Amino acid sequence: MKVLISVDIEGVAGVVNPEQTRAGNSEYERARRWMTLEANAAIEGAFAGGATHVWVNDSHGGFRNLLPDMLDARANVILGKPRTLGMMAGLEYDPQLVFMIGYHAMAQSRGMLAHTINSFAFTHVKMNGRDVGEAGLYGALASEYGARVVLLSGDDVFAEETKPLFPEATFVITKHATGYASGSTLTPERACAAIRQAATDVATSHAGRDALQRATPRPVDIELRVQSTALADLFGQMPSLERVDGVTLRFPTPSVEHAVRTLNCLSAMSFMLR
Asked if 88 and 149 count as a contact pair (C-beta separation under 8 A), the reply is: no
Separation of alpha carbons 107 and 119, rounded Å: 7
44 annotated binding-site participant? no
- Could you say which of 115, 124, 206, 258 is catalytic? 115
Q: Kindly report the number of other CB atoms within 10 A of residue 180's CB atom.
A: 16
Q: Are strands 130-131 and 148-155 parallel, antiparallel or unpaired?
A: unpaired
Q: How many residues does the chain have?
A: 274
The CA radius of gyration of the chain, in Å to the nearest whole number, is 18
144 annotated binding-site participant? no
124 annotated binding-site participant? no
Q: What is the 3-state secondary structure (H, E, C) of 3-37?
A: EEEEECCCCCCCCCCHHHHCCCCHHHHHHHHHHHH
DSSP letter for 261, please: H
8 annotated binding-site participant? yes
> Hey, which bits of 44-197 come out as E strands?
53-58, 76-78, 97-101, 122-127, 130-131, 148-155, 170-179, 182-185
Q: Are strands 53-58 and 242-245 parallel, antiparallel or unpaired?
A: unpaired
Reduced to 3 states (helix: H, G, I; strand: E, B; else coil), residue 196 is: helix
104 annotated binding-site participant? yes
Residues 6+ apart with CB under 8 A from 265: none
Nearest to 75 by CA among 51, 49, 96: 51
Reduced to 3 states (helix: H, G, I; strand: E, B; else coil), residue 109 is: coil
Query: Cis link prior to 82 (omega < 30° from 0)?
Result: yes
Does the annotation mark 206 as catalytic?
no
Binding residues for Zn(2+): 8, 10, 60, 104, 134
Catalytic annotation, residues = 115
Annotated binding site: 8, 10, 60, 104, 134
